[in-house]
Structure 1
Amino acid sequence: MKKTSSPHRSLLAACLIVTATACSPIIEVRGNNPQPEQLAQIKVGTSTREDVQALLGTPSNITPFGEESWHYISAITEREAFFEPEVKERKVVTVVFDRAGTVRAIDNRGLEDGKDVVPATRETPTAGKELTILQQLMGNVGRFSKSPGDKK
Structure 2
Amino acid sequence: MSRIAMMGVFVLCLSACAEIYRNHGYVPPAEDLSKVTVGVDTRDSVIEAIGAPTASGVLEDSGYYYVQTRFRHYGARAPQIVSRELVAISFDRSGVVRNIERFGLEKGQVVTLQRRVTESSLEDKTFLRQLLGNLGNFDPGTLLPTEE
Per the normalisation by structure 1, the TM-score is 0.64
Query: Which one has a larger percent strand, Structure 1 or Structure 2?
Result: 2
1:35 corresponding residue in structure 2:
29
1:85 aligns with 2:67: no
1:114 aligns with 2:110: yes
Greater Cα offset, 89-98 or 59-68: 59-68
1:17 corresponding residue in structure 2:
11
Per-residue deviation at 1:102? 1.4
Matches of 1:56 and 1:22, distance apart in 2: 38
Per-residue deviation at 1:82? 2.1
Show structure 1 runs of 5+ residues with no match: 1-6, 116-152
1:129 corresponding residue in structure 2:
none
The C-alpha deviation readout for 1:67-97, integer Å capped at 9, x for no partner, is: 4211111100112122111110001100011
Identity of aligned residues (%): 27
2:93 is matched with which residue: 70, 95, 99? Answer: 99
Contact preservation (8 Å) 2:72, 2:82? yes
Greater Cα offset, 106-115 or 41-50: 106-115
1:49 is matched with which residue: 28, 43, 51? Answer: 43
Contact preservation (8 Å) 2:57, 2:64? yes
Show structure 2 runs of 5+ residues with no match: 112-148
Per-residue deviation at 1:30? 0.3
Letter in 1 for 2:44: E
Number of matched residues?
Answer: 109
What SS does the aligned partner of 1:42 have? coil
Which aligned runs of 4 or more in structure 1 are off by greater than 4 angstroms? none
Contact preservation (8 Å) 2:61, 2:95? no
Q: CA RMSD in A?
A: 2.0
Structure showing greater radius of gyration is: 1
The C-alpha deviation readout for 1:31-59, integer Å capped at 9, x for no partner, is: 11211111111111112211211232221
What SS does the aligned partner of 2:95 have? coil
1:62 is matched with which residue: 25, 39, 56? Answer: 56
Letter in 2 for 1:85: P
